[in-house]
Amino acid sequence: MIITMDGPAGAGKSTVARALARRLGFRFLDTGAMYRAVALAGKRAGLDWDAPDDLARLARSLDLQVAGDRILLNGEDVTEAVRASDVTAVTRYAADNPQVREHLVKLQRRLAAAEQNVVTEGRDQGTVAFPNAECKIFLTASPEERARRRLRDLQAQGEPVTFEQVLAAQQQRDQQDASRTVGPLRAAEDAVTLCTDGLSLEQVVDRLEKIAKSSSMPPVP
Ligand code: DC
């Protein structure tokens, strides 16, 4: 069974998808980490970001492996490195590149096919990568709630930012994610949308577990 989890940055998707996978005993696939790893490889190779074909060629040449919660780039564990802010800043070059997306979607399908049960998380999982998934979730939260969570994270890391700055950057990112010509962020028509405002992680995972279990039941004749 494939469960897709899409939604905007800051809705808590990663934490929720991981927790749901753990609870159900499913594999977890973090597809954002794959786009980040391609961007990291491009940065290390000193690629010209204005040459999308070069980035696509590089992406196709990489050995990307997803092992549990870790992502390996040509055998090196880059799980932490792909989260650095200088990599986040250039990840859009990978995410906006149609050839890179095509390659990574193929890889995501291959990885999922090798597993029986997967929770896969990203922006286009229910729409593009796995349109036939048995269970599709679209996780959201209000812009203010998402910005408050992000502000807490950044302040915990010692970054001197204000709520207004975080909210403005988030609006820009939402705009980029939604207006991408290939694989834009949107809910699949058959996705269940859940807004996480005011819900604890436990409450969100409880609801999703119920949704997942009801979608895996055979149809009533
Ligand atoms: O979820 P994340 O922050 O790790 O994602 C990193 C970037 O990759 C973000 O800009 C959205 C993009 N992305 C995407 O375009 N498609 C996916 N399936 C996953 C992530």
Q: Tell me: the pLDDT tens digits for 76-104?
A: 999 999 988 889 899 999 999 999 999 99
**For atom 20 of ligand 1, which residue has the closest CA?**
32
Q: Has residue 138 been placed in a domain?
A: yes
Q: Has residue 18 been placed in a domain?
A: yes
Task: Return the ligand 1 atom nearest residue 173 CA.
Answer: 10
Structural domain boundaries enclosing 142: 2-212
The DSSP-derived string for 22-89 is HHHT-EEEEHHHHHHHHHHHHHHTT--TT-HHHHHHHHHH--EEEETTEEEETTEE-TTGGGSHHHHT
Mean pLDDT, rounded, of the chain: 93
Q: What is the CATH number of the domain that holds 143?
A: 3.40.50.300
Residue 181 Cα to ligand 1 midpoint, Å, equals: 14
Q: Has residue 220 been placed in a domain?
A: no
Q: Has residue 40 been placed in a domain?
A: yes
- Those residues of the chain that have pLDDT short of 50 are none
pLDDT tens string 30-63: 999 999 999 999 999 999 999 999 999 999 999 9
Amino acid at 153: D
Provide residues with CB under 6 Å of ligand 1.
9, 31-33, 35-36, 91-92, 95, 122-125, 177, 183
Q: Has residue 43 been placed in a domain?
A: yes
Residue 31 Cα to ligand 1 midpoint, Å, equals: 7
Residue 199 Cα to ligand 1 midpoint, Å, equals: 24
Percentage of the chain beyond pLDDT 70 is 97
Q: Has residue 221 been placed in a domain?
A: no
Is the overall model pTM greater than 0.75, yes or no?
Answer: yes
Q: Has residue 218 been placed in a domain?
A: no
Q: Has residue 54 been placed in a domain?
A: yes
Q: How many domains does the chain have?
A: 1
Helix (H) or strand (E) holding 177: helix 163-179
Mutation test residue for ligand 1: of 16, 18, 31, 150, the one with most atoms within 8 Å of CB: 31
